[in-house]
Amino acid sequence: MTRVGIGYDVHQFTDNRPLILGGVEIPHPQGLQGHSDADVLSHAIADAVLGALGLPDIGHYFPPTDASIEGISSLEILAKCRTLAEAEGATIVNIDSTLIAEAPKILPFREAMQERIGAALGLGPDLVGIKATTNEHMGFVGRGEGIAAMAVASAAS
């Protein structure tokens, strides 16, 4: 059986943090605020994978109140999703995702993100779709206050 899950995440910009997207540090004057490394793309993908597995969301496995995981790499979160899939007797088939941000430009870092996300999930980079768009200067993303991401994942058992 094949199942599909969707994921969505958003983080606001903050000073004095690196910007991590898809496990890659992106040059930008601000990073994203969060309990982990605040990798909004990886978080959306994690929720999509968990949804495809019929499991609870990312906050169930990585609650923001757990001090022991403060600053955790979101690639570790994705690796945990892979472990959960294996425990369920499922295989993650593919990912498709979209980053929504006015800045920075994502294309120069896309392949590196595909490789890192793919490695964490046990997928070839060609099975990790990453696209980017703007919010046409509307809303909090359009004002440059943060970044949003959405993702879909399929898994087979």
Query: Two tokens at 39?
Result: 């990798």
Residue 85's φ and ψ, nearest 5 degrees, are -60, -45
Domain 2-156 is of which CATH architecture? 2-Layer Sandwich (3.30)
Query: Two tokens at 145?
Result: 């206050």
Residue range 33-92, pLDDT digits in tens: 999 999 999 999 999 999 999 999 999 999 999 999 999 999 999 999 999 999 999 999
Would you list the domain boundaries of the chain? 2-156
> In angstroms, rounded to a whole number, what is the distance separating the alpha carbons of residues 102 and 121?
28
Nearest-CA neighbor of 45 among 107, 129, 106? Answer: 129
Is the full-model pTM beyond 0.95? Answer: yes
